[in-house]
Copies of this chain bind each other. A is one copy, B any other.
């Protein structure tokens, strides 16, 4: 089995590149005394999770309880980095917590109450992190005072253990040579919050932050104890165009076939929005729906569900119908989520199926 005789469109993971990405960030976090808790939303795979743990990860992050149940096979320290509100799902977390560390976040009193009930019903002790919004405007309490109020509720609740603070700096897309002011602002908010908690006798043992764009600047946020990057394992055009990595660091590539060249100046590939997702590139919405490795001047101008329209007027040569070419997607996470399985190209050149184990686990 080689990439020459597998069906397209398909996602092929270069195992050596993924391993290098995993080891590189593990080495950085180790050198800075930071915990690394990879977010498994990107790969949703037990194999990759185990590679991350073998490289020294302190635990794993998941977005959904269904993912936690799958990843529990690989890890005994799981953080559901999401405000879980469903009583049934909180009880699932409570059951998982009976024989491993299970942590979850909350940003509302309603959320804390559901978690308290679940811990009571299941007998599991749930570690809870107060989610704070530090500029992303998504989830998270808005002020240090509000975090203290919620922390007190958690600390008082039977069955819950106050573990600390979670935030997500997904709005920050600093390049390595840019000034660090936004990270310093985060650091100041965290310091204020920790001090406030401390004066009330509450400890934030875990300060969990981090994202792929800011991963290698994490030491600038001095109070952070761990980071939760996801995309770094595979990378994509978002991380390339953001200036964080090069295309050589992109481990996940979509192999496609040219199916039509009937329209002048264009070829059509067999990957559309049902393969690549419709995600545009962050900060470069007109850059097209992915990067064509063999034809860097090409522009994936439009997607239908199963067609990708590739403008090739700027290319010196053009691919023919039947040719196979390679696309680096804009955003690898939704692309992986569209697959039941991907191909794993091992260091030794072998190609095998890699299940996307935690995809579609809705219960």
Binding site for B on A (CB under 8 A): 7-8, 10, 41, 63-64, 82-86, 88-89, 107-108, 110-111, 114, 131, 133, 137-142, 146, 170, 257-264, 266, 268, 270, 273-274, 277-280, 302, 304-307, 309, 320-322, 333-334, 337-340, 360, 362-363
Whether A305 contacts B63 by the Cβ 8 Å rule is yes
What are 5 A-to-B residue pairs whose CB atoms are below 8 Å? A83-B268, A85-B322, A108-B262, A139-B262, A305-B334
Whether B268 contacts A277 by the Cβ 8 Å rule is no
Q: How far is the CB of A282 from chain B (nearest CB, A)?
A: 12
Whether B8 contacts A260 by the Cβ 8 Å rule is no
Residues of chain B lying within 8 A (CB to CB) of residue A85: 257-259, 270, 321-322
Nearest B residue to A85 via CB reads B259
Residues of chain B lying within 8 A (CB to CB) of residue A146: 262
A338-B337 contact in complex given A137-B309, A262-B107, A262-B108, C-beta closer than 8 Å: yes
Q: How many copies does the complex hold?
A: 2
Q: How far is the CB of A166 from chain B (nearest CB, A)?
A: 13
Whether B306 contacts A110 by the Cβ 8 Å rule is no
Whether A307 contacts B138 by the Cβ 8 Å rule is yes
Residues of chain B lying within 8 A (CB to CB) of residue A340: 360, 362
A259-B139 contact in complex given A278-B278, A279-B273, C-beta closer than 8 Å: yes
Q: How far is the CB of A355 from chain B (nearest CB, A)?
A: 12
Whether A264 contacts B362 by the Cβ 8 Å rule is no
Whether A138 contacts B263 by the Cβ 8 Å rule is yes
Whether A273 contacts B262 by the Cβ 8 Å rule is no
List of 6 A-B pairs having minimum Cβ-Cβ separation, nearest first:
A110-B321, A139-B260, A278-B278, A107-B262, A340-B360, A63-B306
- Assembly CA distance A10 to B360 (angstroms): 11
- From B8, B262, B274, A142 is in contact (CB under 8 Å) with B262
Whether B339 contacts A360 by the Cβ 8 Å rule is yes
Residues of chain B lying within 8 A (CB to CB) of residue A309: 137-138
Q: How far is the CB of A302 from chain B (nearest CB, A)?
A: 8
- From B83, B262, B302, B363, A259 is in contact (CB under 8 Å) with B83
Residues of chain B lying within 8 A (CB to CB) of residue A86: 7-8, 257
- Assembly CA distance A84 to B63 (angstroms): 37
Whether B138 contacts A268 by the Cβ 8 Å rule is yes
Nearest B residue to A82 via CB reads B306
Whether B259 contacts A82 by the Cβ 8 Å rule is yes
Q: How far is the CB of A299 from chain B (nearest CB, A)?
A: 14
Nearest B residue to A333 via CB reads B305
- Assembly CA distance A335 to B85 (angstroms): 23
- Assembly CA distance A262 to B110 (angstroms): 11
Residues of chain B lying within 8 A (CB to CB) of residue A257: 85-86
- Assembly CA distance A340 to B359 (angstroms): 10
Q: How far is the CB of A173 from chain B (nearest CB, A)?
A: 14
A7-B133 contact in complex given A142-B264, A262-B108, A337-B274, C-beta closer than 8 Å: no
Q: How far is the CB of A212 from chain B (nearest CB, A)?
A: 13
Q: How far is the CB of A141 from chain B (nearest CB, A)?
A: 5
- From B137, B259, B279, B304, A278 is in contact (CB under 8 Å) with B279
Residues of chain B lying within 8 A (CB to CB) of residue A138: 260, 263, 268, 302, 304, 307, 309
Whether A7 contacts B139 by the Cβ 8 Å rule is no
Whether B170 contacts A304 by the Cβ 8 Å rule is yes
Residues of chain B lying within 8 A (CB to CB) of residue A277: 273, 277-278
